[in-house]
Chains A and B, each alone.
Chain A
């Protein structure tokens, strides 16, 4: 009876901590279902990468679309997925790396860098296109969410190794 009561509260009205934990555990379950039983180094690296992407995607969708960083992060993850899917036979790595280097070649220099905002712009998703005020605001929120992500992931590790 008690558990039935808990389930009735919609996920959207729960805390970001709960939403992240729920989405991430669901994503891990899905990852585990389509797992290949290969033990090669490539498969191992790919598994690590998929878990990481699942974690960031869960965080972004738990944070919701109101935040610029979460929209940018989701967009980046989806784009990378698309690139990986469409270029499986072609050389996917070259294309991804050329996209990344192109982005880093033209930083927008508005003379704001007296404070050292360029470093932040590269670290916060979507930071390249934010004005200084929203960059600060989004950074604060991003840090809060990253901290929650690390806390919950530690709990997952503890749970699975226990």
Chain B
């Protein structure tokens, strides 16, 4: 009976997230951040890791934006150069 009661009490704390689990997941995140990867994990606060995570994701999003822009430019140019090439070939055949 007492064990059941303690278990139910335990489960209510588990739902509020175990501190060890959080620490493990935070250090897991820290390993993915180039900014903090080489720091000792107990010297960096969880809040700092989360802040850096947000910054890193924002940077990656921005980089995807830039690369998308460059790719769409390159593809458009590639097509116009191809079109120009085909046009010049057609002109040569006609003349």
Q: How far is the CB of B81 from chain A (nearest CB, A)?
A: 11
| Distance to closest chain B CB from A27 (angstroms) | 11
Q: Is the CB of A55 within 8 A of B68?
A: yes
Nearest Cβ on chain A to B50's Cβ, whole angstroms: 5
Instruction: Tell whether A75 is near chain B: CB-to-CB under 8 Å.
Output: no
Chain A: residues with CB nearer than 8 A to chain B?
A: 28, 31-32, 35, 44, 47-52, 55-56, 115-117, 119-120, 123-124, 131-133, 136-137, 139-140, 142-144, 146-147, 149-150, 153-154, 156-157, 160-161
Q: Which single member of A35, A47, A136, A150 contacts B67 (CB below 8 Å)?
A: A150
Q: Is the interface of A mostly helix, strand, loop or mixed?
A: helix
Bound CA–CA A10/B22 (angstroms):
37
Contact A51 B68 (CB under 8 A): yes
Smallest CB gap from B69: residue in A: A48
Give chain A residues whose Cβ lies under 8 Å from the Cβ of B67: 55, 150, 153-154, 156-157
